Structures are given as structure tokens and as C-alpha cells.
Amino acid sequence: MTIGIGLVGAGGMGADHARTIARHVAGARLVAVADADGDRARQVAAETGAARSGTDGHAVIGDPEVAAVLIASPDYTHADFVRACLGAGKPVLCEKPLAPTPAECLALIEAERALGRRLIQVGYMRRFDAGYVAMKQALSAGELGRALLLHCVHRNAAAPSFFESGMIITNSAVHEIDIARWLLGSEIVRVQVLRTASSELLMVLLESDAGQIVDIELFMSATYGYDIRGELVCEKGTVSLAAPADVHLRRAGTQSFAFAPDWRPRFAAAYRTQLQAWIDAVGRGRSIGANAWDGYAAAAVAAVCLESLASGQPAAVRLESRPALYA
Ligand code: ISE
């Protein structure tokens, strides 16, 4: 059975997802594409074999041939489209963040609870990255003992063109918040954001309910490339991501490797694996990856990070209680 996919949002990330579905994902085909820019939707549809394109995301969600929806529109539009997918009873893979605010995420959780089944997956693709998966396996194997500390570095060569105030937290830091919760298997209870002389370079400190510390360097204008690092420090050793390069060059007294310009090439394999896993899960009537609760938890921690950034003080995170649907 081939699952008909509708794509809402055909900008950089949405167009990449469309190509991945067309070229690398088994069991799915793109049938309809919407984007606020109709020409862009038309081009992506033509390139990827989708029969229909237009400017109305809701028309794509309602399209009878669309069995599952991929949302890659601007962050502030996510909640509205995800709610429409729930209304249509269609599984949805929504790019992160699920929504920029925890209140919007909670409303989606309520709607999904009312349906009684999990249809929402949030595109926290690092959960499908071979490096992070290997880190989690190394920790689960038990030989490292308990995880005590997680060091994260998150550097963009330049802030994306769509960035607005606060997105360094709600659009970038959320990846680190999600991967920290997923790797450590604990919830974040306290945060502190430290400013530097540049508003594009912040340090975020998180504390988990198991007493683990996460430090995150967020640098949105590192200029030299896209650079993501992670190291788990455990009782009996450490495990860290290896440099993501196929080759290391040694020449003229130096050793070097190339950085990806942005996240799309860096995490291309993770995006592919995520899409295939989503399609396979949809085909089996299951859900996989980050769910709506994970989307809410990341947004809730991000909101408290924004408070701490504004006040300069540490701040406590208070999550709602987790509904049984997400146990
Ligand atoms: C971007 O939107 C992403 O999702 C990337 O994965 C992240 O690393 C980057 O900082 C964000 O701006």
C-alpha cells in the first residue's frame, strides 16, 4: 500500500522533505503541496511528482487522497495545521517546534486526547541520527554507569533568514532540550540562560529531575559552518558524537575536514530515516519518535529559558502532569 502524503510548506525544509519522499522513502508518494508562495508549491510538486499544488494548506489536509500530512510551514502556523490534521483524523509529522508556545502545545494535546489515539509526531530528527542513537545505546548498555552531565554545542554559520527575536531558543535550543530529555530519560526542572556580549551567542544551563546538568552553547553566527557537538559525561566514562565527516584531509602541516553549511546536509541521513520510520509507523497504525507531549515539554522548557534570558535569573520549569496517552 502506498500512503498519499500532503505537504504544507514548501520552503527550504519542506522542499527537502518532498525530495526525500520522492527519492528515498518506500511506501509513500507526495500527492499535494501547499505553500503561501504558489509558484514555489508548483515547482516542488512538479519536481516530486505531486499531482496538485496551491496556496491553501487546509485544502491539502482535506484532500481525500492525502492519508498523512507533513507540515514544514513557518513555526507560528504549526498549531493551526496540526489541529486541522487531528480534525481530519490524519497522522501528521510536524516540523519542530510543535508550536512556539507551551499553551498552543497543550491545546493540541487536549485535542489528541479527545481522539484517544496518537496522530502527532514532532520532527525532532536527531532521535533518528546514527550518532545520537549510538550515544543512547552506549548509555543504555550500562557500562558507563549513570549519566551526570551533557555538553552540547549548537553553532549555525549564520542565523536563518526566517529568524525573529526569541527563535534562538524556540527554534534552535529546542533541539538540544529535546535530545537532552531523550538521552537522559529525565525532565528539565530548572534553567538559566547566560548572555554574552553578542545576542547571537548564549549559554543555557539546564538541570534535570535526576540532578543531571546540561550545558548548551548556542551560537547563531559562527561563520565557519554548521557545528553540532554532544558529549555525555557518565560515572565510568564519556561518549561523544564523532566529527561528521567522510574524510579528514592532511596537508601542508594541518589536518582538516569540511563542515556542512547548515543542518540539512548535516542531518540528511537522520531526516531520511525519520521519514521512513514515520511512513512505516503510519502504515502499521502506530506512532513513533517525539510525540505531542515531547513537543510540549520542549516548548515549556524553551518558554522558561526566554524568561531567564529576560530576567538574567535562574527559573523553574513546571510541567503539567503527563496524560496516560503519552505514558
Ligand atoms: C533550524 O531551524 C533547525 O531546525 C536546525 O536543525 C537548527 O540547528 C538550527 O539552529 C535551526 O535554526
pLDDT tens track for 54-99: 999 999 999 999 999 999 999 999 999 999 999 999 999 999 999 9
Rounded average pLDDT over 202-223: 98
The DSSP string of 181-243 is HHHHTS-EEEEEEEE-SSTTEEEEEEEETTS-EEEEEEETT-SS-BEEEEEEEETTEEEEPPP
Q: How far apart are CA 283 and CA 23, in angstroms?
A: 19
Report the percent of the chain where pLDDT is more than 70.
100
Q: Calculate helix-pair angle for 292-311, 102-115, nearest 10 degrees.
A: 170
**pLDDT (0 to 100) of residue 195:** 96
Residue 261 has pLDDT above 90, yes or no: yes
How many Cα neighbours within 13 Å face the side chain of 238?
Answer: 10
Amino acid at 319: L
Is residue 249 within 8 A of residue 255, CB to CB? The reply is yes
**pLDDT (0 to 100) of residue 31:** 98
Q: How far apart are CA 178 and CA 180, in angstroms?
A: 5
**DSSP label of 168:** I
Pocket of ligand 1 contains residue 192 by CB under 6 Å: no
Pocket of ligand 1 contains residue 172 by CB under 6 Å: yes
Q: Which of 168, 172, 229 to mutate to test the pocket of ligand 1 (most atoms within 8 A of CB)?
A: 172
User: Ligand 1 atom closest to Cα of 172?
Assistant: 10
Pocket of ligand 1 contains residue 126 by CB under 6 Å: no
**pLDDT (0 to 100) of residue 244:** 85
Distances in Å between the Cα of 9 and the Cα atoms of 40, 51, 70, 256 are: 9, 16, 8, 37
Q: How many CB atoms lie within 10 A of CB 50?
A: 25
For residue 175, the CA-to-ligand 1 centroid distance in Å is 8
Amino acid at 134: A
pTM for the structure as a whole: 0.97
**pLDDT (0 to 100) of residue 202:** 98
Q: How far apart are CA 84 and CA 133, in angstroms?
A: 32
For residue 159, the CA-to-ligand 1 centroid distance in Å is 9
Is residue 294 within 8 A of residue 181, CB to CB? The reply is yes
Report the candidate in 121, 184, 175, 176 with the shortest Cα–Cα distance to residue 148.
Answer: 184
Length, in residues, of the chain: 327
The neighbouring-strand residues paired with 151 are 215, 231
**pLDDT (0 to 100) of residue 1:** 82
pLDDT band for 190, please (50, 70, 90 cuts): very high
User: Ligand 1 atom closest to Cα of 125?
Assistant: 6
Chain mean position to CA 43? 25
The dihedral built from the CA positions of residue 171, 110, 276 and 33, taken in this order, carries a sign that is negative
Report the candidate in 75, 306, 101, 97 with the shortest Cα–Cα distance to residue 204.
Answer: 306
Q: How far apart are CA 289 and CA 157, in angstroms?
A: 28
